[in-house]
């Protein structure tokens, strides 16, 4: 597998081989344009790179022309009703942002967990207010508001769009989540999101399971997705959000095949 030049930056996650972050980056930085560092921290275990490891990550990125996005932790809900849980999330996320700042990440990916798709209007309003406080906390430590990219989940992404605009954040469009939760109008939602999107998460979805090889997904939908990227000249990050070598190899091959047919 070798790098291919696209108008966008093709990336994947830091969990392709069964090892820690740094060995993964050593393995895949020559092959992709971006690596999503999936980081977490708990009292029992943490995979946050040390300052020395951050320096090596920066050196590897420079050597191979590979940048980074950073997925903020999801063990605590950023929009939880419980204030202690939100504070815990903000503390952990802020530490990760500060540690990874020397990498100059293209984005920090934020999940605004803490709301159900069938929530009542009053619940949504309360959640929006809580999430606004969380985002403001993170904005104190990032080097650019637009580098906070809010990812769509199982609730309608419009619920956080105004929050993003108000705080000058960008969007992370997880097209796999659109297929999983909003298949009836995913194309419309994708078109609406793309102008505000800095990072796209792409992974196969077979009707039940996601984060699979693109070869296990719907090839027609994947082709339509790339057609829409081409139409708007998207030049941000497309992260193949998958977690093993076989899925990565199959997915990279499919991206190349589809893009060659569109070119």
Banded model confidence at residue 189, pLDDT cuts 50, 70, 90: very high
Q: Does residue 2 belong to any structural domain of this protein?
A: no
**pLDDT by residue (tens digit) across 196-253?**
999 999 999 999 999 999 999 999 999 999 999 999 999 999 999 999 999 999 999 9
Q: What is the pLDDT of residue 11?
A: 98
User: Could you give the number of structural domains in the chain?
Assistant: 1
CATH number for the domain that contains residue 221: 3.20.20.150
Please say if the pLDDT value at position 179 is more than 80.
yes
**pLDDT by residue (tens digit) across 85-112?**
999 999 999 999 999 999 999 999 999 9
Q: What is the pLDDT of residue 138?
A: 98
DSSP-assigned beta bridge partners for residue 111: 151
Please say if the pLDDT value at position 55 is more than 80.
yes
Q: What is the pLDDT of residue 14?
A: 98
Picking from 112, 110, 113, the residue whose alpha carbon sits closest to that of residue 148 is 110
Picking from 77, 140, 150, 157, the residue whose alpha carbon sits closest to that of residue 108 is 150
Q: What is the pLDDT of residue 45?
A: 85
Q: Which residues make Cβ contacts (< 8 Å) with residue 157, sequence separation at least 6?
A: 171, 173, 189, 193
Q: Does residue 3 belong to any structural domain of this protein?
A: no
Q: What is the pLDDT of residue 78?
A: 98
Q: Does residue 4 belong to any structural domain of this protein?
A: no
Residue with tokens 């930085």: 29
Q: Does the reported pTM lie above 0.95? A: yes
Range of the domain at 68: 9-262
CB 211 within 8 Å of CB 203 = yes
Q: Does residue 1 belong to any structural domain of this protein?
A: no
Residues in the chain: 263
Residues 193/199/205/208 CA torsion (nearest 10 deg): -80
Q: Does residue 144 belong to any structural domain of this protein?
A: yes
Q: Does residue 249 belong to any structural domain of this protein?
A: yes
Picking from 186, 187, 243, the residue whose alpha carbon sits closest to that of residue 210 is 243
């Amino acid at each position: 597998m070798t790098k291919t030049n696209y108008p966008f930056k093709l990336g994947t996650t830091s969990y392709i081989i069964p090892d820690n972050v740094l060995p993964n980056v050593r393995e895949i930085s020559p092959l992709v344009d971006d690596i999503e560092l999936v980081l977490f921290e708990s009292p029992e275990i943490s995979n946050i790179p040390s300052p020395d490891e951050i320096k090596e990550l920066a050196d590897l990125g420079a050597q191979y022309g590979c940048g980074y996005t950073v997925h903020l932790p999801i063990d605590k809900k950023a929009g939880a009703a419980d204030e202690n849980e939100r504070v815990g999330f903000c503390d952990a996320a802020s530490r990760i942002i500060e540690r990874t700042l020397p990498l100059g990440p293209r984005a920090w990916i934020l999940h605004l967990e803490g709301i159900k798709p069938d929530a009542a209007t009053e619940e949504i309003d309360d959640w929006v207010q809580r999430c606004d406080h969380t985002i403001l906390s993170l904005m104190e430590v990032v080097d650019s508001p637009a580098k906070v990219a809010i990812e769509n989940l199982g609730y309608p992404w419009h619920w956080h769009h105004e929050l993003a605009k108000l705080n000058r954040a960008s969007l992370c469009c997880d097209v796999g989540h659109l297929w999983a939760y909003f298949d009836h109008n995913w194309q419309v939602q994708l078109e609406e999101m793309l102008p505000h999107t800095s990072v796209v998460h792409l992974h196969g979805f077979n009707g039940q399971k996601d984060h699979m090889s693109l070869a296990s997904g719907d090839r027609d939908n994947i082709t339509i997705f790339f057609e829409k990227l081409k139409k708007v000249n998207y030049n941000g990050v497309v992260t193949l959000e998958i977690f093993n070598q076989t899925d990565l190899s199959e997915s990279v091959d499919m991206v190349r095949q589809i893009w060659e047919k569109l070119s």
